[in-house]
A and B are shown apart, each in its own frame.
Chain A
């Protein structure tokens, strides 16, 4: 360069861009970004996250109005979906690519290029010379054979060898780093084109994979095209088993599958940790509960007939979830005034009495002699949700107590007819998580590549060896130089052994001349 005046003029756009690029490429930037990523994750693990626990995130904002408001504006309640987390991740990936491109180009060049001959062997950190009996050409040929057997790449010149080993280190390192981009691709593709939803299916009923059937309990990816599989899932039965201690042992849903046209696809069991897979959709055992079949008649007219999905309120601190009572709601909007029923399910009379006496619920793991208690309300049904009952706008009406198989009178409907409630049957329901992620395999392959790349990247080292042979009186002088780019102290031992072996294959030393320079 002949520019003599290094005037600090304003940088051209091109120069600024080059500076930004260089900065992004530097390891320092990558390190800072890595630590920023870690810090952001710390925030995300300490503050309740909306995607993981929406109730806790909401109650936090109620309990701490000031910090809650600040956290909400800063996106701290959804760190991993926030713009600044995406920014850190994006910068990290850009920095990664900026670093990987030149390294990959250089590595490809290294692979293509044969090892280069050296000028001065004795200038290398490792150097040794031996007198051997083989002729120079023969000694070079024998050395080449030995080095090849030791998996060196060898380049031969007249009277000289250049050998090199350990390219796997850089290859592994590059594989490891590129694989992260593959994870990104797999995650974006899989999440973007997939969906995750939840549905409850009562024993004996069937359900079809279609948007409306998720009742809003679904999250779809950004590029999801609405192509639900239409798969039909029928729950034959659900079985839960417990140990004597009340610890759950196993949950199994026996399901029957059929394709969108109704052609049967066979039976299968869905267990915790053992999802079913059909038409690219995976079905996971997510939860379960009780669904009493309730029939309500107004005289001879059937107002309601079918299984009602009962749920439990979230357990307060220190109470087992199983111990909470199962509740359900039945609405009778066709009556005037409208009627809403709050129903509680009890496993047997003992559990009911015990709760009345002590306030301690009994976990309902089995139903020996189930019955339901009903509290009826009259007024107008305002809650739009299927399972919600807004009783504030209603007045308390009748109550009832119905054992399984019984029919009880609830009260007069207002037009002189009698409302009756039957509880013919108790069923269970299974909650399934249904999801499709076509990118899982890409992510899995990437994860395997990460592990495969890590091994050579951490445990191998690149080293080079040069050999020269020239006549020395009636024998041959074998000169060996060596250089390790990493793990130098280990190479010292390896080099000494290698020289011994080279001398041995080229014939025992003619005259003892142990002029080994050793490490320099």
Chain B
């Protein structure tokens, strides 16, 4: 086999990108079937398809690296691709791996497919190429990688899992009201053991009991489990995001002679940081636990999207070259 040219690598990367999106969509259907009917075969197939999609996606990213001759996080197209990849990977590792929850695969896959679709449709695509001198920095590479990893954890924890938590917590309150009992206290954190079940165990995906309305209950995992997963994911993401902001400041000091200048990108990274710091504090504050803290996490997710999309596309910023 003769060596591939840069152009061939670039084409391979693009084709695999599209193929990965389609694969994720197929896997999403499988996960949705498992969510609705708990068909084990659907889960097994969906998971296998997801892993295949991840493999293609990873190959796409590697091919891009070869084509560009540098790290694959130099522009918005590449950020989007890497972010989507990490969210799916994060789901497999954290939700299925650590917490043994298998019902939620469709949701992170929706997020990733949409992220990649947006990158495709709104023309973030640029041919792989070298970076301008300002971006050619050791610290920048670290800064951007940390920002993407942090973003993926926020997207998974503060976005996907938090939305699911809010949906489930609302459903639990409704059901409790229908049963005429007191609602299960939507405790976030660890102050009440009742709402703080042990690590998820085998069989926990099974629908839980029957209500008086003979309606199947527990399509989603209990809200306390969703809450714990969301919290832990954000708690891993927060130091990484903090590090990303610090690495960005170190780079700014080298490139622009000031570590902080309230450039819109810096400002929004700071806003996102402040909101998630608020979330971590809210969980430890009475009266803010539960739904309220979750809403804070969701606001943080919106802020993340602004930091990522709006600042790059609509706000004049020193980070404008990230387009």
- Chain A residues with CB under 8 Å of chain B are 27-28, 30-31, 34-35, 37-38, 41-42, 44-46, 48-49, 51-53, 56, 79-80, 125, 187, 196, 243, 245, 247-251, 271-275, 282, 284, 286, 433, 435, 437, 440, 443-444, 447, 450-451, 454-455, 458-459, 486-489, 492-493
- Bound CA span A81–B309, Å: 27
- Name the residue of chain B whose CB is nearest to the CB of A249: B133
Q: Mark B118-146, 1 if CB is under 8 A from A, else 0.
A: 00000000000110111011001000000
- Bound CA span A447–B253, Å: 14
Is B9 located at the chain interface by the 8 A CB criterion?
no
A440 touches B242 (CB 8 A): no
A51 touches B262 (CB 8 A): yes
Please judge, given known A-B contacts A53-B316, A271-B133, A487-B190, whether A34 and B274 are in contact too, CB under 8 Å. Answer: yes
Stretch at the interface among B37-45, B85-93, B243-251: B243-251
- Bound CA span A455–B243, Å: 12
Contact for A486 among B190, B262, B287, CB less than 8 A: B190
Please judge, given known A-B contacts A42-B271, A273-B134, whether A196 and B197 are in contact too, CB under 8 Å. Answer: no
- Name the residue of chain B whose CB is nearest to the CB of A448: B246
| In the complex, chain B residues whose CB is within 8 Å of the CB of A31 | 278, 281-282, 285, 288
A30 touches B281 (CB 8 A): yes
Is B198 located at the chain interface by the 8 A CB criterion?
yes
| In the complex, chain A residues whose CB is within 8 Å of the CB of B315 | 45-46
Can you name 19 extra interface pairs (CB under 8 A) apart from A125-B193, A275-B257, A489-B196?
A27-B284, A27-B288, A31-B278, A31-B282, A35-B274, A44-B262, A56-B316, A248-B133, A249-B130, A251-B133, A272-B255, A273-B137, A273-B140, A274-B254, A286-B257, A437-B258, A450-B242, A459-B235, A489-B199
B254 touches A28 (CB 8 A): no
A247 touches B285 (CB 8 A): no
B257 touches A196 (CB 8 A): yes
- Name the residue of chain B whose CB is nearest to the CB of A447: B246
Please judge, given known A-B contacts A247-B129, A488-B196, whether A34 and B261 are in contact too, CB under 8 Å. Answer: no
- Bound CA span A51–B264, Å: 12
| In the complex, chain A residues whose CB is within 8 Å of the CB of B250 | 444
- Name the residue of chain B whose CB is nearest to the CB of A439: B259
- Bound CA span A493–B198, Å: 10
- Name the residue of chain B whose CB is nearest to the CB of A450: B242
B274 touches A41 (CB 8 A): yes
* 10 A-B residue pairings within 8 Å (CB atoms): A27-B281, A31-B278, A31-B281, A35-B274, A41-B268, A80-B262, A450-B242, A451-B242, A454-B238, A489-B196
Contact for A440 among B253, B261, B280, B288, CB less than 8 A: B253
- Bound CA span A308–B271, Å: 44
A44 touches B267 (CB 8 A): yes
Is B95 located at the chain interface by the 8 A CB criterion?
no
| In the complex, chain B residues whose CB is within 8 Å of the CB of A34 | 274, 277-278, 281
B271 touches A38 (CB 8 A): yes
- Bound CA span A262–B267, Å: 43
Q: Which of B245-303 contact A (CB under 8 A)?
A: 246, 249-251, 253-264, 267-268, 270-271, 274-275, 277-278, 280-282, 284-285, 287-288, 303
| In the complex, chain B residues whose CB is within 8 Å of the CB of A273 | 133-134, 136-137, 140, 251, 254-255
Q: Shortest beta-carbon distance, B195 to chain A, in Å?
A: 11
| In the complex, chain B residues whose CB is within 8 Å of the CB of A45 | 264, 267-268, 271, 311, 315
- Bound CA span A45–B274, Å: 15
- Bound CA span A245–B130, Å: 11
Q: Which of B196, B197, B254, B257 has the most chain A CB atoms closer than 10 A to its own CB?
A: B257
| In the complex, chain A residues whose CB is within 8 Å of the CB of B278 | 31, 34-35, 38
| In the complex, chain A residues whose CB is within 8 Å of the CB of B285 | 27-28, 31
- Chain B residues with CB under 8 Å of chain A are 129-130, 132-134, 136-137, 140, 190, 193, 196-199, 235, 238-239, 242-243, 246, 249-251, 253-264, 267-268, 270-271, 274-275, 277-278, 280-282, 284-285, 287-288, 303, 311, 315-316
| In the complex, chain B residues whose CB is within 8 Å of the CB of A187 | 260
Q: Shortest beta-carbon distance, A329 to chain B, in Å?
A: 28
- Bound CA span A37–B136, Å: 33
- Bound CA span A275–B134, Å: 12
**Interchain Cβ contacts within 8 Å, total number:** 126
Q: Shortest beta-carbon distance, A55 to chain B, in Å?
A: 11
Q: Shortest beta-carbon distance, B230 to chain A, in Å?
A: 14
- Bound CA span A433–B190, Å: 52
B257 touches A433 (CB 8 A): yes
- Name the residue of chain A whose CB is nearest to the CB of B192: A488
Q: Shortest beta-carbon distance, A198 to chain B, in Å?
A: 10
Q: Shortest beta-carbon distance, B50 to chain A, in Å?
A: 28
| In the complex, chain B residues whose CB is within 8 Å of the CB of A489 | 190, 196-199
Please judge, given known A-B contacts A284-B257, A435-B257, A458-B235, whether A272 and B133 are in contact too, CB under 8 Å. Answer: yes
Please judge, given known A-B contacts A42-B271, A458-B235, A458-B238, whether A248 and B132 are in contact too, CB under 8 Å. Answer: yes
- Name the residue of chain B whose CB is nearest to the CB of A436: B257
Contact for A451 among B243, B257, B277, B284, CB less than 8 A: B243
A458 touches B239 (CB 8 A): yes
- Bound CA span A447–B270, Å: 14
B249 touches A447 (CB 8 A): yes
B246 touches A451 (CB 8 A): yes
Q: Shortest beta-carbon distance, A505 to chain B, in Å?
A: 27
Closest CB pairs A-B (n = 10): A45-B267, A272-B133, A27-B285, A273-B137, A45-B264, A284-B257, A38-B274, A447-B246, A454-B239, A435-B257
Q: Which of A52, A249, A440 has the most chain B CB atoms closer than 10 A to its own CB?
A: A52
| In the complex, chain A residues whose CB is within 8 Å of the CB of B196 | 488-489
- Name the residue of chain B whose CB is nearest to the CB of A48: B316
Q: Shortest beta-carbon distance, A318 to chain B, in Å?
A: 13
B267 touches A284 (CB 8 A): no
| In the complex, chain A residues whose CB is within 8 Å of the CB of B287 | 28
| In the complex, chain A residues whose CB is within 8 Å of the CB of B282 | 31
- Bound CA span A487–B284, Å: 13
- Bound CA span A52–B316, Å: 10
- Bound CA span A447–B143, Å: 14
Q: Which of B140, B193, B303 has the most chain A CB atoms closer than 10 A to its own CB?
A: B193
Q: Which of A30, A31, A488 has the most chain B CB atoms closer than 10 A to its own CB?
A: A31
| In the complex, chain A residues whose CB is within 8 Å of the CB of B263 | 52
- Bound CA span A80–B264, Å: 12
Contact for A284 among B140, B198, B256, B264, CB less than 8 A: B256
- Name the residue of chain B whose CB is nearest to the CB of A435: B257
B288 touches A272 (CB 8 A): no
A435 touches B271 (CB 8 A): no
Q: Shortest beta-carbon distance, A52 to chain B, in Å?
A: 6
| In the complex, chain A residues whose CB is within 8 Å of the CB of B238 | 454, 458
